[in-house]
Homo-oligomer: A and B are copies of this chain.
Amino acid sequence: MDRRQQKTRDAIFKAFSKLIEQKRYENITVQEIIDEANIGRSTFYAHFETKDELLRALCTDIFSHVFSNELMSEKTHDFSGGNNGLEAKLTHILHHLMDSKTNIVGILSSHSGELFLRYFKDYLTEMFSKYLNEIKMNAPADFVLNHLVGSFAETVKWWIDNKMKYTPEETARYYIEVSCVNRITD
């Protein structure tokens, strides 16, 4: 990739991230991004067709870090405790959100969350689905999977909105406790 392209792309990402901390996605204009990134108008449109596509690209960038290959690897057959069990993975995700350089929290808590959450849920779905065949409930598997993913995403949003008043460890434990996966392991 051309060095100039890379520099421009970085500048746009950086400007966009900064802006998204300050105001909600909907109210950010392309003009503001351009000014903040200090690039030409036509340059922006040479990189991204729309603002939505920019957000999409940023999400992809971010999540490829949060959901590492290790995290997405096959489960180690335990839900709670353990080194690489579900609870540990969830804890890892929460830590990552808390510590991340790019302001994931700002994005997630912003109104732009919808698009962002869609990507988040896609990754979560992939992760949770590996645990699915061990969960025997009187409910269809697709229902259970959606419930697990949806409620964890809601939990994360709530956790962030409440200034992360519980630690990642606590939050993950509460989730496991309340979630239906809890009922198989006792």
Residues of A within 8 A of B (CB): 111, 113-114, 137-140, 142-144, 146-147, 149-151, 153-155, 157-158, 162, 166, 171, 173-175, 177-180, 183
Contact = CB atoms under 8 A, between A and B. Distances in A.
* Number of copies of this kind of chain in the complex: 2
Contacts of A150: 150-151, 154-155, 157-158
A154 B146 contact: yes
5 contacts: A111-B114, A139-B174, A143-B178, A147-B178, A151-B154
B174 A143 contact: yes
Contact of A151 (B138, B142, B151, B162): B151
A178 B144 contact: yes
A155 B149 CA distance: 10
